[in-house]
Amino acid sequence: MEKRQEMQHSIETLRKQKMEQRQEMQLSIETLRKQKMEQRQEMQLSIETLRKQEMEQRQEMQLSIEALRKQIINIFTTTTTKEVEVPVVVSAPAPEPEPTRVGLEEPVFAVNLEPIQELSEEEKVSSSASEPEQSLSVTVNALKRKPSTKKEKRRKLERAASKRLEDLGVKPVCSHY
């Protein structure tokens, strides 16, 4: 009987040991589960934090892009200098002496001069009023005879006008020559 008791005792001891092992295993499993849950929560928190940071960065970028767009729009809509079209009355400048050409053609502005005669006061008044008309008719006749001088005159007039405007402080918008 003693053997039997010993056997029972040993069986009992084995059962206790097994139970203890099971409990330890369950405790370790539960501890592992808790650790795993904590890790998951930490990962979720870190993911949420990263998402928030990413969203903040996107918002900052969008705000900076919007600010840059507004600056660009302001730059292009507001001008520091105003371009104003100013009507300019250009009077024909005194004809510049042109170099004489040697050839068979008559110079464009060749005018036959008459001998100088003394005029009375009435003639002086009437002749001073007709002088611009005479010089104009001479220029028109010369332009009719030689059309290429028309282009030359136009270029000279444009240059003279642009020089006068530049002297007055008006900058040319575009030049044609």
Predicted pLDDT of residue 100: 54
Instruction: Tell me the whole-structure pTM to 2 decimals.
Output: 0.33
- pLDDT of the residue at 126: 57
Q: Which token pair is 124? A: 């002086």
On whether residue 144 sits in a domain, the answer given is yes
Rounded to whole angstroms, what are the CA distances from 168 to 80, 87, 134, 172?
A: 19, 13, 32, 11
pLDDT at 91: 59
CA distance 64 to 72: 12
When mean pLDDT is compared across 17-31, 58-72, 157-171, the lowest value belongs to 157-171
Asked whether residue 162 is domain-assigned, the answer is yes
What pLDDT digit, counting tens, does each position of 33-66 carry? 999 999 999 999 999 999 999 999 999 999 999 9
The total number of structural domains in the chain stands at 2
Last residue of a domain, one of 38, 68, 98: 68
Last residue in a domain, options 22, 50, 68: 68
Measured distance CA(142)–CA(134) in Å, rounded: 12
CB 138 within 8 A of CB 109: yes
* 162 or 54: which leads in pLDDT: 54
Q: Encode pLDDT of 113-158 as tens digits.
A: 555 656 666 655 555 555 555 666 666 676 677 777 777 878 888 8
Q: What single-letter amino acid sits at 171? A: K
**Most confident range, picked from 59-73, 99-113, 157-171:** 59-73
DSSP string, 6-60: HHHHHHHHHHHHHHHHHHHHHHHHHHHHHHHHHHHHHHHHHHHHHHHHHHHHHHH
Mean pLDDT of the chain: 76
Distance CA 61, CA 73 (A): 18
Which pLDDT band holds residue 79 (cuts at 50, 70, 90)? low
Q: Domain limits at 165?
A: 133-177
Residue type, 150: K
Cα distances from 17 to residues 14, 21, 26, 158, in angstroms, run 5, 6, 14, 116
